Amino acid sequence: MAAGRVKARNDADLILASKRGDLSAFEEIYATHAGRMKSIAFHMLGDRADAEDAVQEAFLKIYRGAGAIQFDSHLAPWIYRILLNCCYDTGRKRRHQAEAPLTVEPAAQENAPLQVALRHALGRIHPQHRMVFWLFEVEGFRHSEVAAILEIPEGTSKKWLFEAKQELKRLLTESRS
């Protein structure tokens, strides 16, 4: 496993090597992104096995699509866009409620710690707002990256984040009052 290795090659080098069939280069891409991809997939599918399936499927598609990617484009948004599509597909296949697994969790207790309450509230807000909140606040992407992943303008990413926080604040205030 390449996790923890010093990242000596940049994305363009890695994808170029992958295109030539170099699986060790592709393993570096895996090591860099798999953790965050699993977390996003789990958030969307609500099940670890499904999340792993979606990540696996995404990497197979990434490998196949490596030949088509432009070197002037950033690798990460493309990778995460493929992942989101795989999550939607997996969700449909498994007949799970894709993107809304958190709604089935038990209601937060009145004095629950903020993190638990936040997790619960996230399941109740608009899916697009939730996705922007998750990518920006939980996974640490910048607005430019969120915008590239979701294929929306950067201003929309900022607007949806603000709206997500407004909805969450309202829900959290209600649950704590």
Binding footprint of another protein on the chain (CB under 8 A): 1, 21, 23, 26-27, 30, 34-35, 38-39, 42-43, 48, 52, 55-57, 59-61, 63-64, 114-115, 118-119, 122, 133-134, 137-140, 162, 165-166, 168-169, 172-173
Is residue 31 within 8 Å of 3, Cβ to Cβ?
yes
Instruction: State the SS3 of 52-90.
Output: HHHHHHHHHHHHHHHHHCCCCCCHHHHHHHHHHHHHHHH
Burial class for 68, CB neighbours closer than 10 Å (0-12, 13-18, 19+): exposed
59, two tokens: 């990497």
- Nearest distance, CB of residue 105 and another protein, angstroms: 12
- Nearest distance, CB of residue 113 and another protein, angstroms: 8
Sequence-ordered list of residues with C-beta below 8 angstroms from that of 166, at least 6 positions apart, any chain = none
Give the nearer residue to another protein in terms of CB position, either 3 or 72.
3
Output Rg (C-alpha) for the chain, integer angstroms.
Answer: 18
Give the nearer residue to another protein in terms of CB position, either 39 or 128.
39
Give the nearer residue to another protein in terms of CB position, either 72 or 169.
169
- Nearest distance, CB of residue 72 and another protein, angstroms: 25
- Nearest distance, CB of residue 103 and another protein, angstroms: 15
Give the nearer residue to another protein in terms of CB position, either 72 or 106.
106
